[in-house]
């Protein structure tokens, strides 16, 4: 489906991190697609833009700092 970005969210190549994850229950044979590779590279944008600095390091999130909903 994608790769885990430095902001700890799943990123889909065509949809970014703005998509809905769900489950499909079926007994139909489905084709297996190729695994996604990471594409973050040297980008640090998600770390720099986090308003509460909850992303404390690449791939590390301090949920206590997240904005409550």
Tell me what pLDDT residue 69 has.
Answer: 63
CA 20 to chain centre: 12
pLDDT band at 68 (very low <50, low <70, confident <90, very high): confident
Distance CA 7, CA 4 (A): 8
Condensed to tens digits (0 to 9), the pLDDT of residues 16-65 reads 888 777 777 889 998 998 888 888 889 899 899 999 999 999 999 999 99
- Would the pLDDT of 2 be above 90? no
Higher confidence at residue 68 or residue 36?
36
């Amino acid at each position: 489906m994608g790769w885990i970005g430095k902001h700890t969210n799943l990123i889909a190549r065509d949809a970014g991190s703005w998509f809905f994850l769900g489950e499909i229950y079926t007994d139909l044979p489905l084709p297996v697609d190729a695994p996604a590779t990471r594409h973050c590279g040297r980008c640090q944008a998600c770390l720099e833009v986090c308003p509460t600095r909850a992303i404390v390091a690449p791939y590390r999130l301090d949920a206590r700092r997240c904005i409550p909903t």
